[in-house]
Structure 1
Amino acid sequence: MATLGKAPDTPQRLFSSRRGRILRENLTAYLFLLPAIVLIFTFGIFPVAFAFFVSLHQWRRFPGEYRALGNFTRAIGDFSYVLFFWLALATLVYAAYRLYQMWRDTDDERGALFFLVPGIANAIALVLFTNWFFTTLVIILNIPNRIRGQEITRSLFMNELWNSFQFPEALDAFWPMLAAIIVAIGISITTLRILTTSRNTIYLMRGSLVAIFVAFGIYLLQLTLNEIDTAITVARDAGEDLPLWSQIIMISLGAALVGGAYWVWQRAVKADSDRRFIMMSAAALLLVFGGYLLVMELPQAFASADDDLLNGFRITAMFAFGTVPIQLTIGLGLAYLLFQNIQGKALFRMIYFIPYITPFVATSVVFGILFSNRESSPINKLIGIFGIEPQTWLLEPKGIFLLIFGDGVPDILHGPGLALVVIMMYTIWTFVGYNAVVFLAGLGNIPSELYEAARIDGASGWRVFRHITLPLLSPTTFFLSLIAIIGTFKAFTQIFLMRRPASFSAVDTVSIYIFETVRTNSRLGYGSALAFVLFGVILLLTIFQNRIMGRRVFYG
């Protein structure tokens, strides 16, 4: 019988070794994660990346000219340069921090730092892929312009779609991208085979993330510096002075001094002597004063900002601070009452929760009828009993305090418009039931033994509420306040349904202004820039709330 050669490796033999079993487990895990990764990329990462790409262009239905930070400068003035400069530095600092973490976690495996080499290769491949993707995407999105005037057929569109990948710009970006991907895969596989650490895959991902953050930070820094140089050159040619660098330096130093004042004050509170407390408190006050003097450059930085956007933020802030505290307070009070042993608790819970689950369209129409400007409207009839003249409610843009106290009130103290107050009342009425139900769940998690011990000690109802209920409800309160502030800054539906042309200037929040910018004027690039500005404000508020209020939350 002829001697047969060695049989080729089958998939079973390939995965039978220890390394093969580890590879099979990793492949199985990533296959399970693949649907989630696809969903996150499709509906999370890609829309944000595409919106940022659009915000850098003059985009009206179809891609327009590249404007870099032009849309952001139009929105928030010269402060956009300060903001992007900070963002670039923060990205680079975060990359350095991640690199330090990687170095610290590899004390016993210093060879793992060599995974930075494939990480850099992967980052270069990702940058080139992003460049090719958006270059080709712009060409594809311009297909309607190229076939305008021709008979629209499926074959014509498919032919243009194929030709989009053959454009010189697309091909010039494709071949370097393909070469970079092949090189990155080769370097990654070689590094994984040569270095035998306990967490090869994790180190490879960490190295890639560090390189990606460095690349993104360098891109933002280069973009910002180029825009600053261009703006200064244009101003100089026009015979004007544009002190962008002085604004960046002074505002940055002012923010640093205010942050330092907060850090000093935190230590002053924990001081072990009165003398130390007084000295550190005085130092904190001096830092705040110095920071205030430097941050006074902000009005000049915002001088060329979009007035409609700033007015939208002013209205949004009044809307948030006029609804969140009230709805949380009423919700807590209702929850505390419903938590007692009273008849019909389930019925009251359902009644209070109904406004939250009822569609905005239906309830807003009802509120519009109640607060109609007609003299015979239910609310005007009600206030007429107390001798108050009928109001125009949703048609009235004047501030509530101006209407109450007359023309002697300073402009800054006019308060929210009467139309906005009605929308605030509607929002409070809608979300009070939701807050009450969540507070009820939090009250149910408080051990009853604590209440029994307090009663035995003779504590009054107020002391029990103040020293037991409120501290143990702090996680629930923190959660509700966080989502309420985010929700009010993103609020759109109820405001859009209840706004009237006569009071647009008093009720149009930032979300409404962004929507009208995109819908009415088709300024998609500018609308995307405005959306990122709003996202940045919400992100800063969330971070501030987590840092300041999160430390006071008692988790037991």
Structure 2
Amino acid sequence: MNKRLTEGIWGVAFILPQMLGLLVFAFIPLVSAFVLSMMKWDGFGEKRFIGLDNFAGQLNHPDFKLALANSAWYTILVVPLGILLAILIAVALNKVRGKTLYRLFYYMPVVTSSIAVSIVWLWLLNSEFGIINVYLKQWFEIQGPDWLTNRKLVIPSIAMLSIWWGLGGNMVLFLAGLQGISSTYYEAAQIDGASKLRQFWHITLPLLSPTTFFATIMSMIGSFQVFDQSFVMTGGGPAKASYTIVYHIYQLAFVEFTFGKSAAAAVMLFVIILTLTLFQMYVSKRWVHYGG
């Protein structure tokens, strides 16, 4: 047996577990979801093929449209603010003493259960005895709003939780990106008399653009899949003001037991996320700079 063939066999042996895991837990469920989306099935009886009726029904379903609008509004709030805050905090912590300890504190919420985080924030945002409204009253003599029972505030309130929860993950990414920027750029800028603000705008942000692009893609995907916070804190209310697209998928599958419709909604969400991701990848050619 020649050396190249032996190396090929060992290579296949090493990647085989990962490929099997990808096949069993990703590819097969994905194909199954596509097939199920064209079926009528209640989870117990026989499946019946109905073509694209489930997709047509979802496109005309008012709950699907509402859930998509709520998810889009949530994404618009979470992604830009979360990325901006993560960049600013990463820059602030980049060269301070005890950076590792700060990074640990900021990252701790990321590894905390979403259910636990939601329950804590459910208490913090309680309109009657929540700690945020209590301090607003004591310190500023302001009557706090109904964070989770006001239709206009419920999505921003959940978004505020999510920004805090995911801030540490993005911050760590940007800290790693900052470590990869050569100090020679800043030294040259200082010799030319550039201020700290100009260095940040013309050096830091452009050279962080690959990290920003990755963080934006991942944040957008995660934000369109928000479910736990809405389920635990509001149950999709008030009056479905926090009814998200994944909550809609859950409702169709495990409350109404219309698994075909649920799979169709999930496939449509997949197509939406894929389309937005491909669009961002296309647009990124204009603002993402690799180098330095």
Q: TM-score normalised to the size of structure 2?
A: 0.91
Residue pair 1:326, 1:428 contacting (<8 A) in 2 also: yes
Corresponding residue to 2:42 among 35, 60, 76:
60
1:3-23 deviation digits (Å, cap 9, x = unpaired): xxxxxxxxxxxx79xxxx988
Equivalent in the alignment of 1:454? 189
Q: What amino acid maps onto 1:57 in structure 2? A: M
TM-aligned CA distance change 1:75 to 1:351, over 3 Å: same
Secondary structure of the 1:549 match is helix
Residue in structure 1 matched with residue 200 of structure 2 by the alignment? 465
Q: Deviations over 1:57-109 (max 9, x none)?
A: 11111333210111011011xxxxxxxxxxxxxxxxxxxxxxxxxxxxxxxxx
Ranked by relative contact order (alpha carbons within 8 Å, sequence separation 6 or more), the top structure is 2
Instruction: Determine if the alignment matches structure 1 residue 74 to structure 2 residue 57.
Output: yes
The unaligned stretches of length 5 or more in structure 2 are none
User: Which amino acid in the other structure matches residue 380 of structure 1?
Assistant: N
- The residue identity in structure 1 corresponding to 2:147 is W
Match of 1:49 among 18, 24, 31: 31
Give the letter aligned to residue 41 of structure 2: W
**C-alpha distance in 1 between matches for 2:101 and 2:11:** 47
CA contact (8 A) 1:478 1:550 kept: no
Deviation at 1:44, TM superposition (A): 2.2
| 1:420-457 Cα shifts (integer Å, max 9, x gaps) | 11111100111112211111111110011111111111
Matched, 1:373 2:127: yes
Q: 2:217 aligns to what?
A: 482
Amino acid at match of 2:288: V
Aligned mates of 1:31, 1:437 — CA distance in 2: 34
Q: Does 1:436 align with 2:148?
A: no
- The one-letter amino acid of 1:367's match is W
- C-alpha contact 2:189 2:199 (8 A) present in aligned 1: yes
**Alignment partner of 1:546 is 2:266:** no
Q: SS at 1:317's partner residue?
A: helix
AA matched with 1:425 = M
Q: Which has more radius of gyration?
A: 1
**Contact 2:106–2:168 (8 Å) recurs in 1:** yes
Alpha-carbon distance, 1:495 to partner:
2.4
Conserved? CA contact 1:395–1:500, under 8 Å: no
Tell me if structure 1 keeps the 8 A contact 2:125–2:148: yes
Q: Deviations over 1:96-127 (max 9, x none)?
A: xxxxxxxxxxxxxxxxxxxxxxxxxxxxxxxx
From the superposition, tell whether residues 447 and 26 of structure 1 become closer, same or farther in structure 2 (CA, over 3 Å).
closer
Counterpart residue number, 1:210: none
- Please tell me the residue identity of whatever aligns with 1:73: A
TM-aligned CA distance change 1:34 to 1:455, over 3 Å = closer
**Secondary structure of 1:393's aligned partner:** coil
Amino acid at match of 1:326: L
Show CA shifts across 1:300-325 (max 9, x none).
xxxxx111001111000110010111
Measure, in 2, the Cα distance between the counterparts of 1:550 and 1:33. Answer: 32
Match of 2:107 in 1: 353
d(CA) in 2 for partners of 1:440 and 1:30? 35
The aligned residue for residue 425 of structure 1 is 160
C-alpha distance in 2 between matches for 1:501 and 1:51: 24
Give how far 1:367 is off: 1.0
Structure 1 residue matching 2:272: 3-state secondary structure: helix
Matched, 1:312 2:67: yes
Alignment identity in percent? 35
Matched letter for residue 439 of structure 1: F
Matched, 1:529 2:264: yes
CA shift for structure 1 position 55: 1.2
Q: Distance in 2 between matches of 1:327 and 1:508?
A: 21
CA distance in 1, matches of 2:11, 2:219: 37
Question: Is the 1:490–1:511 Cα contact (8 Å) retained in structure 2?
Answer: yes
CA pair 456-531 structure 1, distance change in 2 beyond 3 A: same
CA distance in 2, matches of 1:25, 1:357: 38
**Residue 502 and residue 52 in structure 1: after superposition, are their counterparts in 2 closer, same or farther (change >3 A)?**
closer
Structure 1: gaps spanning 5 or more residues = 1-14, 77-304, 400-417
Q: Distance in 1 between matches of 2:228 and 2:211?
A: 26
Query: What SS class does the counterpart of residue 506 from structure 1 fall into?
Result: coil
Bigger mean CA offset, 387-396 vs 32-41: 32-41
* Cα distance per residue 1:203-248 (max 9 Å; x no partner): xxxxxxxxxxxxxxxxxxxxxxxxxxxxxxxxxxxxxxxxxxxxxx
Query: What residue identity is the alignment partner of 2:136?
Result: I
Query: Could you tell me how far apart the structure 2 residues matched to 1:22 and 1:333 are?
Result: 50
| CA gap 1:504/1:438 in 2 versus in 1, 3 angstroms | farther
> Per-residue deviation at 1:386?
3.5
For 1:501 and 1:509, the matched residues in 2 are separated by 7
Q: Secondary structure at the match of 1:446?
A: coil
Deviation (angstroms), 1:502: 4.5
More helix by share: 1
Q: Is this contact kept in 1: 2:236–2:247, CA < 8 A?
A: no
Residue 335 of structure 1 aligns with an amino acid whose one-letter code is A
1:392 equivalent in alignment to 2:146: yes
